[in-house]
Structure 1
Amino acid sequence: MRRFLRSILWLPILLALVAFIAPSIWAQSPTPTPKASPSPGGVVRGYLFYSPFCPHCKKVISETLPAFKKKYGKQLEITLLDARDPSNYAFLLAIEEQAKVPPQYRGVPFLVIGHHILIGELDIKEHLEEVIEYYLQQGGVDYLIPPDAIKKIFAPPTPTPTPSGVKATPTPLPLIHIAYFYTTGCNECEQAYYDLEYLKSQYPTLRIHYFDVQKDAPLWEWLGEKNHIPANKRLTTPAVFIGDDYLLGRDVNYENLEALVKKYQAKGAEPFWENWDREEALNSILNRFRSLGPLTVALAGLVDGLNPCAFATLIFFISYLALTGRKGWEVLAVGAAFALGVFFTYLGIGFGFLKALQSIPSLQKLSKVIYALTAVLCFALAAGNISDFVKVRKGNPEKMSLRMPIRLRRVVNRIVRQSMQVRYLVPISLITGLLISLIEFTCTGQVYLPTIIFMMGVPEMRGKATLYLMEYNLLFILPLVLIFVGAFFGTSSGQLSKLLNRHMVTIKAATAFLFLCLGAWLVYAVLIQ
């Protein structure tokens, strides 16, 4: 998350609010009216709201702040405020509300110095020095509120004593049960967690039931069916279900949550999901698994396996096998080793790319950008394949634009020639498949990576990403396996070359169609988010 807010207008409002809520506290304070004024001795003072479970907070606390503390010494004083503490969180909410921080930028680490707010590890790292220098030139800046006064001002409400000094017994209110679904590592989910925990401190009858969407997807599906939630929005996180209402994604914020809690405060909300129909939910998920998603992945893998880049290498490989006198079962053994090398290489690349995407801290926030950029790439590749389709139809396949560069093609051919000159051909073929796959990825990866983005965009497919990567890569090596089987039965490289040329138009048309479908779906994913 990266956002640099310079907000001056919100400060007087916040200070007026604080003065209104706790006049007695400020009457006892050495400074009767709180304000962001120059600090005695030219010290820059501020707060860092953090969570011990937030990796970005840990980096800021252990690396960024110590570096600035070392540089500025006693001129810098940052007080750490644990966002899990109800008083600290109430203070944070007040700042966010008055500064009108957009929902997508809420979260920790959250640094406040004077009139400036820095949100997120990158923002703090890149702009903290600028803020410190600004206030040092002003003679320093004091805390908006002394840290030891925060708990007094923003303490949770307590029952009001009766005139006799005995606490009034409030009328018992029914319990309000909330089902909250989260994903580990999701920033929005973490923010929703803090909101819910703070609400618990404000509304004692609130009971929150936490569900990991990876483990409790069937329950989410059942709730989605019960609430008539569109299929493309199911398994979204964060998600909250209470009574007959629900909130999804960015709608899960403090204001909306509190509004729902107030709605059910008098009548309560039962944990209606306790008797849910697991079988019904599983059937619903299975029915949607049988829809377009898996078919698209299978089609993408097969089309990628028929890619002219990969096909040309296979033809050269087969011709060199024949030239060196390899035939029969030796061809099958070499082919199996080569295919395994290709399979495991592409599977490894797929897992690596998938993990890289999943490790992005703000993946859900960036998803629109990622999908939009990938959609543009898909449409560009579709246009390139349509252009190649026209060139092949006109009898000019050598003019195709989407093909492996000649320099890389020569490297591949050299690897094939050298691999045929060794004694232990089968294990060397495994390594050859690995090396050639890495080189060819500049060409074949055009389909693979957008397909992984597609899988990440379909909620039902995220949890089964490993299976879909296996499916894709099995379909990818299927043409390769069939070619080696054909070579075993006597199919020559010349016949394979003719087969490729004969069906080049079809392959290009299918590839263009695939990219158009992926691009269209990604545009749809951007629009519905």
Structure 2
Amino acid sequence: MSVKKICLFTLMFLLIFCSPIYVCFSVFEAPDVGSDAVCLAFFGTSRCHFCEEKWSLVADLEGYYPNLIVMRFDYMDEEDRSLEDYLFTKFNLPLNSPRTAVFVGNDYLLGVDITEKSLRSLIEKYLDSGAKPVWKYIYLAYFGFSSCFSCDLDWQMINRLREDYPMLVPKRFDCLNKSVVNMENELLRLYRVDVKAPRVAVFVGRHCLISEDIYEERLREIIEIYVGEGVGTIPPWKLLKTATKKLSLPVLSMVILGGLADGINPCAFTVLIFFISYLVYLKRSKTEIVLTGVSFISAVFTAYLIMGFGLMFFIVKLEFFPAINLMIKVITAIFALILCFVNLHDYHILKKGDVNRVFIKIPKSLHGKFHSIVRKMGETKFIVPFTFFAGLLVSIFEFACTGQVYIPIILLLSDPSLQFQALVYLALYNFMFIMPLITLFLAVYIGASIKEINNRISKHADKMKLLTSIILLFLAIILLTQIFSSL
């Protein structure tokens, strides 16, 4: 492959994926609840399969309409249920009507009437005129500390305001809870406030007040603004669901590409190929070969998943130490860039056919140990459990070679805003990592020549290095974007 083709391929790759990067790191702007914003309230519960089906229709449409602000309410929650009761009364709906409901402006949809067509029709009706929240409530989020006397005084003052403003609905959050700190950090980003949680703060409508700015006169001024507008406000804690969900697509694309690129790495193939060859040489039965192959690949998946969970847990714990967290991101970004150029160097070396000068590879000393482990596996009577244990051991030794993409991916996923999604994505990454191993194993099992497979891997090893280099460059760009956006 010529230098021109390499540059063209890299440019195409970056053009395709630069838009997800932009989306990924620009979603923390506060949603614009202007005159053209369309506020949609969805009521359902995650415990109901029917509700989840309807919610997926609503969530999918959010990306098509930039002015659409979606809020999800759980009618099993007492506070959300009372709001839905209020809306049912306002729209003269019987309280025994289907509880899965959508409210936009002066219109609503219930139960089976919630379809993609009806939702699009309802949203497009308000695209030009906009649709404010369908309630008159002014929601206020107060973040403080349960052990703080000053915070208690603030909360008492906020509750006294309800005597003059019965439409005010305050909700208190305790910053001694880690999940609350993560929530506050996301809100601070959404409201573009350049401070880190935990902080004593108030969020109401388009306004955010920090610490000493929280006093009665100022709160009255803000509440009067919304009373004068004659419309309610969006509960600040409901805005987070829109912001975090938008991270899914770009992160998902990197997880899939990174997992495949890491799995195609020749380091991951070496032991499995020798292992299968040795079992065939010993004339083991096909059943034994299948069981041991499944056991080995399962061990690789388990080992990498456990290592990923452990490293992610450690990084998430450092969220309370911003300086250390930032330093780790900087080191990992530099590490990814260095490995990018090292893989590019290996690509040129392999292109010339000089395998001995490749930098990133399993040391020859480890090859001998791996072969010794495989021989012991082949001779034991308890080959399946022994193979699983050996697979765990081999995965740990191979991590120095195969972990070059995995570590930046783990850091990318160690974002509290992703929450449970991060665990799912980590499992998906590892599944994509073992996909090439599964394909290789099946190819050998159905009769493909091991010698031919080895030749093909050697022939395309340079392209694998080039792909890994591009993936690492992309990961470094994402991490650097995160770093600069947090400064």
Same fold by TM (over 0.5)? yes
Contact 1:310 1:440 in 2 (8 A): yes
Q: Does 1:481 align with 2:438?
A: yes
CA–CA separation in structure 1 for the residues paired with 2:240 and 2:221: 31
CA contact (8 A) 2:255 2:409 kept: yes
Q: What's the offset of the Cα at 1:309?
A: 1.2
The 1:444/1:452 distance shift into structure 2, 3 A limit, reads same
Answer yes or no: is the 8 Å Cα contact 2:141–2:236 preserved in 1: no
Q: CA deviation at 1:197?
A: 4.4
Counterpart residue number, 1:265: 220
Q: Is the counterpart of residue 491 in structure 1 residue 452 in structure 2?
A: no
2:273 to 315, 335, 338: 315
Alignment of 1:20-35 (within 5 A): none
Counterpart CA distance in 2 for 1:294 and 1:466 is: 12
Q: Give a deviation string over 1:116-136, Cα, whole Å, max 9, x none.
A: xxxxxxxxxxxxxxxxxxxxx
Mapping 1:229-248, distance limit 5 Å: 240-246=202-208
1:438 aligns with: 396
> How far, CA to CA, are the matches of 1:193 and 1:482 in structure 2?
59
Tell me the SS of whatever aligns to 1:381.
helix
Separation in structure 2 between the aligned mates of residue 517 and residue 324 of structure 1, nearest angstrom = 44
Question: Aligned residue for 1:336?
Answer: 294
Aligned mates of 1:258, 1:176 — CA distance in 2 = 17
Task: Please tell me whether Structure 1 or Structure 2 has the larger radius of gyration of its CA atoms.
Answer: 1
8 A contact 2:140–2:235 mirrored in 1: no
Cα drift, residue 246 of structure 1:
2.9
Match of 2:360 in 1: 402
SS in 1 for 2:284: coil
d(CA) in 2 for partners of 1:410 and 1:321?
17
Contact 1:306 1:479 in 2 (8 A): yes
**Who is 2:141 aligned against?**
179
* 1:500 maps to 2:457: yes
Determine the structure 2 residue equivalent to 1:172.
Answer: none
**CA 1:362 to 1:497, structure 2 compared with 1: closer, same or farther past 3 Å?**
same
The range that moved more, 517-526 or 320-329, is: 320-329
Separation of aligned partners in 2, 1:367 and 1:276: 27
The CA distance in 1 between the partners of 2:138 and 2:335, in whole Å, is 48
Larger RCO, structure (CA 8 Å, separation 6 or more): 2
Matches within 5 A, 1:6-45: none
Residue number among 202, 205, 210 corresponding to 2:173 in the alignment: 210
Cα drift, residue 316 of structure 1:
1.4
Aligned to 1:62: none
Take 1:331 and 1:203, find their aligned partners in 2: how far apart are those partners? 69
Structure 2 Cα separation of the partners of residues 216 and 373 of structure 1: 25
519 and 487 in structure 1: CA distance in 2 versus 1, 3 angstrom threshold? same
Give the AA of the match of 1:268.
I
Q: Against the structure 1 CA distance between its residues 213 and 177, is the aligned structure 2 distance closer, same or farther, given a 3 Å change threshold?
A: farther
Q: Residue in 2 aligned with 1:524?
A: 481
Write out per-residue CA displacement over residues 336-389 of structure 1, whole angstroms, 9 at most, x where no aligned residue. 111111111111111111122223373434322121111011001101101101
Q: Give the superposition deviation at 1:217.
A: 9.7
Asked if the contact 1:218/1:285 (under 8 Å) is kept, the reply is no
Q: Secondary structure at the match of 1:268?
A: helix
- 1:503-522, CA deviations, whole angstroms, 9 ceiling, x for partnerless residues? 11221111111111111111
Scaled by the length of structure 2, what TM-score is found?
0.59
Contact 2:346–2:465 (CA under 8 A) maintained in structure 1? yes
Q: 1:216 to 1:406 in 2, by over 3 A?
A: same
Tell me: CA distance 1:262–1:283, structure 2 relative to 1, closer, same or farther (3 Å): closer
- TM-aligned CA deviation for residue 398 of structure 1: 2.1
Contact persistence 1:304–1:448 (CA under 8 A): yes
User: Is the aligned partner of 1:411 residue 2:369?
Assistant: yes
Runs (4+) of structure 1 exceeding 6 A deviation are 189-195, 201-204, 215-221, 235-239, 274-278
The two structures, once aligned, show a CA RMSD in angstroms of: 3.9
Q: What runs of 5+ residues in structure 1 fail to find an aligned partner?
A: 1-174, 182-188
Give per-residue Cα distances to partners, 1:255-294, cap 9 Å, x unaligned: 4x437x653234537795577997x9867755542x2111
* Greater mean deviation of Cα atoms: 446-455 or 210-219: 210-219
Determine the C-alpha separation between the residues in 1 that align with 2:241 and 2:300: 35
What letter is aligned with 1:429? T
The residue number in structure 1 matching 2:101 is none
Give 1:204 deviation, angstroms.
7.0
* Identity %, equivalent residues: 27
Larger CA deviation: 189-198 vs 410-419 = 189-198
Cα distance change, pair 281–380 in 1 and its aligned pair in 2 (3 A): closer
Matched residues, number: 333
Q: Which residues in structure 2 correspond to 1:340-355 (within 5 Å)?
A: 340-355=298-313
Q: Residue 334 of structure 1: CA displacement?
A: 1.2
TM-score, with length taken from structure 1: 0.55
Q: In the alignment, which residue of structure 2 is the partner of 1:86? A: none
- The answer to whether the aligner puts 1:422 opposite 2:422 as a matched pair is no
Find the aligned partners of 2:142 and 2:179 in 1 and give their Cα distance.
Answer: 13
